Amino acid sequence: MAHNLQYDLNEPLNRAERYPQIAHDWASLFDTNAGWTANAANFCALLTAGFGWWWVGFYRVRSADSTLILGPFQGPVACTTIAKGRGVCGTAWDRDLPMIVPDVDQFPGHIACSSSSRSELVIPLHAMGEVVAVLDLDSVRLNDFGPQDLEALLPMLELLQSAWPVVVSGEVLD
């Protein structure tokens, strides 16, 4: 399915103006038949195109060994596993709370997958009453994320959470 974005990244819009455009595009892009992984990949690409952040991606929970495993993302290479409670992503998972970190160098135990990352926003995703993944956003600018980002992203993530894989007879259907 071809899709033309509703904006130009070079256009000087603030986030309050950009988020409604992103939400509109996300509603058009989301494909109920494509599964979680394909939709998550498009979500990452959409946020990257819309905001130009350094890194946008997901880590999925692997319960067997209490780690997060790298999922769909846009940006430079990344850490492939993160332990529960470690770094911003592992802490957001462990506490089941979104985390806005204005300066990652000030976050105790920050995992530096890239030295270019300066601020971060991590949002847990839920399915079946548990955290199943986290959305990780990294910026090269200090203090780049705030409550307005969280407020705008949560409804879009609800749509993505609805596509979480179903397990039938031990097989993940995604």
pLDDT in tens, 101-116: 999 888 876 677 767 7
pLDDT value of position 170: 41
Question: What local confidence, expressed as pLDDT, does residue 14 receive?
Answer: 85
Q: What are the structure tokens assigned to 122, written together?
A: 């991590």
Q: 10 Å Cβ neighbour count for 168?
A: 8
> How far apart are alpha carbons 166 and 104 in whole angstroms?
35
What share of the chain in percent tops pLDDT 70? 84
Mean pLDDT score, 15-37: 92
Residue 69, pLDDT > 70, answer yes
Q: How many residues does the chain have?
A: 174
Identify the band that residue 6 occupies on the pLDDT scale cut at 50, 70 and 90: low
Give yes or no for residue 172 having a pLDDT over 80: no
Return the sign of the alpha-carbon dihedral for residues 154, 28, 56, 144: negative
Nearest to 55 by CA among 143, 134, 105, 117: 117
Per CATH, is 15-164 categorized as 3.30.450.40? yes
Count of Cβ atoms closer than 10 Å to residue 97 Cβ: 12
Share of the chain above pLDDT 90, in %: 66
The two most distant CA atoms of the chain are separated, in Å, by 50
* Mean per-residue pLDDT of the chain: 87
pTM over 0.95? The answer is no
Number of H helices, E strands in the chain: 4, 8
Please give the distance of CA 29 from its chain centroid, rounded to a whole number: 16
Output the pLDDT for position 160: 92
